[in-house]
Amino acid sequence: MTSADTTLRAVLIAMTLGILSGCKSPPRESVHLVAVGARDRVPSVLGPCRTADARPSAPVQFSLAGDIYEAMSKGRVRIPCEQGVVVLDVRRPSRLDIDSSQVAKRGDMLAMQVRVFDEENARLTIGDAPVSWSFSGALAPRQPPVCDDGEEACPLRNVGFARAYDEGAGEVVARFGALSARIAVNVLP
């Protein structure tokens, strides 16, 4: 290789690096799988977001302050944020499970949550969307813990609270939209 070839190669490499250094990297994207009916805070993983610039906005409704969304219909919503784009991938839920121990002792206080999945078995978030709970047999509903601003975080509205008041079998039913799930809880002495 001659000195002219080496010089030409060095010039081409320098030009390529100069061109590439001027290119911006693609915007960061944070995708969140959301169930139709979900209600939650707009994710802040990429800094403050501009919900007024969300496109398309039809699948979700935003609060006046722009910090809370409610998923109304299926679709993808892109929300520009300070450090990238938050994508709400709103999907129809097809299955509901109850996340709880199925064995308890008499006197135990139980807190239960639901897990929501789409038809491809991907887990969806529902945020603070309401879930209807019913308890029977050896279980009875109980009030959620009192929530003060200075103490731990307030429980979500979709958490079911029960008390195991008697020995035997108890049944739990949870409903979210048109879906329902049921489990049996065995209450021991």
pLDDT tens for 93-139 read 999 999 998 999 999 999 999 999 999 999 999 999 999 999 999 99
Query: Half-sphere exposure of residue 24, counting CA atoms within 13 Å on the CB side?
Result: 4
Q: Which residue type is seen at 84?
A: G
pLDDT value at residue 147: 76
Instruction: Tell which residue, 93, 78, 77, 80, has the closest CA to residue 38.
Output: 93
Identify the residue with better confidence: 93 or 16: 93
Tokens 């030409």 belong to residue: 8
- 168 neighbors 138 (Cβ within 8 angstroms): yes
- 63 neighbors 7 (Cβ within 8 angstroms): no
Q: Say whether 155 sits in a helix, a strand or coil.
A: coil
Give the rounded distance of the alpha carbon of 28 from its chain centre.
19
Average pLDDT score, the chain: 87
pLDDT tens readout for residues 139-181: 999 988 877 765 566 777 789 999 999 999 999 999 999 999 9
- 37 neighbors 176 (Cβ within 8 angstroms): yes
